[in-house]
Amino acid sequence: MTQVPSAKVLLADDQLDVTAALRLLLKSDGVETRSVSSPGAVLDSVRQDNFDLLLMDLNYTRDTTSGREGLELLAQLRALDSPPGIIVMTAWGSVELAVRAMQAGARDFILKPWENERLLATVRKHLAAPSAPPGALPERDLSIARRVQTKLLPQEFPALRTLEYSAHCAQAGAVGGDYYDFIRTGDERILLVLADVSGKGIPAALLMANLQATLRSHCQRRVDNLSVLAQAVNRFFYDSTEPEHFATMFLGEYDDRTRRLQYVNCGHNPPLAVRGSGQRDLLQPTGTVIGAFTPYRAAMAETKIDSGDTLVICSDGVLEARNGEGEQFGDLRLGEVLQQHLGAPVGSLPREVAGAVAKHSAYGQEDDLTVIVARGT
């Protein structure tokens, strides 16, 4: 990767270990840095020197996640004659906060904890891009939200010895309520997640982002029981949303040592397991939708993914797509697509499914569409 010559970046964070790590990382890429630890010092530095880029934390007050101080600082920076390009940093949060920051003038955002290569790629991209003219209007809200939501989906898939997997997500609008994730829960375990939040557009996207943050937060605490994890997510939805808002969700934890998949299916479409023998199994719901009832219980079930077995987890945008006669795409056609592409790489299968759905549908894409395909090796 070509380094950007003579670049100068201002780092703004009240945690000294964070700025120290960023300085070392950017120095390795040939970037000159200076660090400050308060909003006032940011403004003073920008007024006194010319920086190509400002990399700043949104949360200067550690006991809040509102981002208020960071958003106020963004507004003050935009009022200057020639502010540098701004990239904001924030911990795993919602689409809403990242969208507000980009509306306030930020070019991009980085999630903490960051991945070094992704952070460097983001910084390189914006150092190479020309600055927006003073007073330029931010992008339209939906365009910004779409970019943010795309970044919240997993960018890397942890490698496993006995399982290959891939995914594809296409929202019906600029943003939507489908969500998938791959979360490492141990040295040889990974959680496969697919959720479908009721509704469409920005409201569904905000609920989706909060669902993701809740799941990742609980996984960091190493919740080993999927039923307990489903209860925690249900409690969040029930307490924080209106009664008409709910989500279906499939959580499956795969053990690379035993090939066993423990799962809870919270009112979601039954994933389809096509065995190497040709047998087809459906992983039926083990609980109701989340967010509608309390107390809540989803039982755990278990299956195996042996070599040659293929598991497809999808949202209802796949199975309920209709042709001109009103026939839904359904599990039968889904299984036929898999049979037709037995030798295809797993990485291509989610898009093959999406393409078959598009050919079947007589009404265009009516709903968000997400597909996860996993195959035992």
Q: Is the Cβ–Cβ distance between 309 and 273 less than 8 Å?
A: yes
Q: Is the Cβ–Cβ distance between 125 and 55 less than 8 Å?
A: no
Q: Per mean pLDDT, which range of 42-51, 121-130, 183-192 is the poorest?
A: 121-130
Which residues are paired to 274 by β-bridges?
280, 310
103 CB-near residues (< 8 Å, 6+ apart): 138, 141, 144
Q: Average per-residue pLDDT in the chain? A: 85
| Cα 226 from Cα 298, distance rounded (Å) | 8
In this structure, what token pair is assigned to residue 262? 């423990």
Task: Determine the residue type at 186.
Answer: G
Q: For residue 273, what pLDDT band results from cuts at 50, 70 and 90?
A: very high
H helices present in the chain, as ranges: 16-27, 39-48, 68-78, 95-103, 116-128, 141-152, 201-220, 226-240, 316-319, 330-340, 349-360
Above 60 in pLDDT, residue 3?
Answer: no
Q: Is the peptide bond before 133 cis (omega within 30 degrees of 0)?
A: no
Place of tokens 């992704």: 118
Domain(s) labelled CATH 3.40.50.2300 in the chain stretch across 8-149
| Cα 14 from Cα 60, distance rounded (Å) | 6
Above 50 in pLDDT, residue 63?
Answer: no
DSSP run (H or E) holding 238: helix 226-240
According to the model, what pLDDT value does residue 69 have? 78
pLDDT digits (tens, 9 = 90+) for 116-175: 988 998 899 889 876 544 434 344 556 666 666 777 788 778 899 999 999 999 887 767
Above 60 in pLDDT, residue 300?
Answer: yes
CA atoms within 13 A of residue 333's CA, in its CB half-sphere: 20
CATH 3.30.1490.20: does it fit domain 153-376?
no
| Cα 251 from Cα 263, distance rounded (Å) | 5
Question: What percentage of residues in the chain have a pLDDT greater than 70?
Answer: 86
H helices present in 84-192, as ranges: 95-103, 116-128, 141-152
- Mean pLDDT of the region 227-233: 92
Read out DSSP for 58-89?
Answer: S-SSTT--S-HHHHHHHHHHHTSSSPPEEEEE
DSSP summary character for residue 119: H
Of 373, 377, 331, whose CA–CA distance to 192 is shortest? 373
Burial string for 212-247 (b: 16+ CB within 10 Å, else e) reads bbbbeebbeeebeebbebbbbbbbbbbeebeeebbb
> Domain 8-149 falls in which CATH fold?
Rossmann fold (3.40.50)
- Mean pLDDT of the region 176-205: 86
Task: Determine the residue type at 225.
Answer: N
| Cα 177 from Cα 77, distance rounded (Å) | 33
Above 50 in pLDDT, residue 64?
Answer: no
- Mean pLDDT of the region 171-199: 87
Above 90 in pLDDT, residue 305?
Answer: yes
| Cα 158 from Cα 190, distance rounded (Å) | 8
Q: How far is CA 217 from CA 93, 183, 220, 222, 223, in A?
A: 10, 11, 5, 9, 10
**Phi, psi (5° rounding) for residue 51?**
-115, 140
Task: Determine the residue type at 154.
Answer: P
- Distance, C-alpha 293 to centroid of its chain: 26
Instruction: Using alpha carbons only, give the angle 172, 283, 304 rounded to the nearest 5 degrees.
Output: 120
Domain(s) labelled CATH 3.60.40.10 in the chain stretch across 153-376
According to the model, what pLDDT value does residue 94 have? 53
pLDDT digits (tens, 9 = 90+) for 360-371: 998 788 888 999
Q: How many residues does this entry show for the chain?
A: 377
Of 165, 189, 187, whose CA–CA distance to 310 is shortest? 165
According to the model, what pLDDT value does residue 134 have? 41
Strands 247-255 and 280-282 turn out to be unpaired
Q: For residue 105, what pLDDT band results from cuts at 50, 70 and 90?
A: confident
